[in-house]
Amino acid sequence: MDENKWEDFRVEIKRKIEALEIKKITDEASLNKAWHKLYIAIKHLADKHIKWLKIYNNYFRVKTKKASELYQGLVKINKLIRNLKELKSHPPFSYEEVTKRFNKKIGSLTTKLGLENIKIKEQDFWNKNFKQLVESMIELKKSIHVTTQIENNSEIREEISLAVERRQNNFQTNTKRIIDSILKRKRNRVTFDNIIKVDEVITDGKGIKEEVVMHFKNWTKYNPTNKEYWKLWEKEYDPVLQRL
């Protein structure tokens, strides 16, 4: 980000903070309220002025739809746990609103994955209950992780079984494939970018295919001997003359 954009960011931050009109902080509640306002203002302007990069996870080794959903569920529950831990250092303005938001996300997640739902209460965010709340979320994460591993292992076993069955069938019905596999023979694909003829150059894919088909159809067609030339070449094939 260049200097001009940093300057714009600084000016807008200053103007926004002045517009908040944060009054004198006298207790913990007023401190939390002031901090929440500052946090929202800075985050909003940072998203507006500072470039950020979104990284998309590569869900490798995920085969089935259920396994994909479970893996995405792991990503979401990890994010929820992070957000939950952030509340410890940055308390929200309204615990009621946070409780509704967390319950909605957890309910959607557990319903989609077919797991037992966890219902969060507002008092769970209090200091004496907060640790237990985090532990319950971690247990939910472990449950999703175990289910994901079971699904992935099941998919791997199924693939192995299919491969073994296919190999057994090939021994009985497709020995050519078995021999090709043993000898590591592969059929290489021939690619034609164009075909040059006397009067034209064919570059269209469909036209190239048609021309190749026509070529091999004519190349292997019946080609009878032209007997009109036999008289000219007959003496060359005469055994008696060959001995002389």
| Lowest mean per-residue pLDDT among 5-14, 73-82, 196-205 | 5-14
Q: What is the pLDDT of residue 240?
A: 62
Q: What does the longest C-alpha to C-alpha distance in the chain come to?
A: 129
Q: What pLDDT score does 19 carry?
A: 81
Residue range 141-165: mean pLDDT, rounded: 86
φ, ψ for residue 208, nearest 5 deg: -65, -45
Q: What per-residue confidence (pLDDT) applies to 242?
A: 55
Mean predicted confidence (pLDDT) in 199-216 = 87
Residue 2 confidence (pLDDT) above 70:
no
The SS3 assignment for 203 reads coil
Average pLDDT estimate for 136-158: 86
Q: Are 202 and 194 in contact (CB under 8 A)?
A: yes
* Residue 160: predicted pLDDT: 87
* Mean pLDDT, range 168-192, rounded to an integer: 77
Residue 67 burial (C-beta neighbours within 10 Å; 0-12, 13-18, 19+): buried
Percent of the chain with pLDDT over 90: 0
The predicted structure's pLDDT at residue 219: 78
Q: What is the pLDDT of residue 156?
A: 84
**Dist. CA 185–CA 175, nearest whole Å:** 13
What is the reported pTM?
Answer: 0.42
Q: Which tens digit of pLDDT belongs to each residue from 3-32?
A: 677 788 788 888 887 887 777 777 777 777
Our measurement of the distance from residue 147's CA atom to the centroid of its chain's CA atoms, rounded to an integer in Å, reads: 20
What pLDDT is stored for residue 58 in this prediction? 53
Give the mean pLDDT of 32-38: 80
Report which of residues 15 and 58 the model is more confident about: 15
| Span 210-233, pLDDT tens digits | 888 888 888 777 777 778 888 888
Alpha helices in 63-196 (DSSP H): 65-89, 95-113, 127-173, 175-183
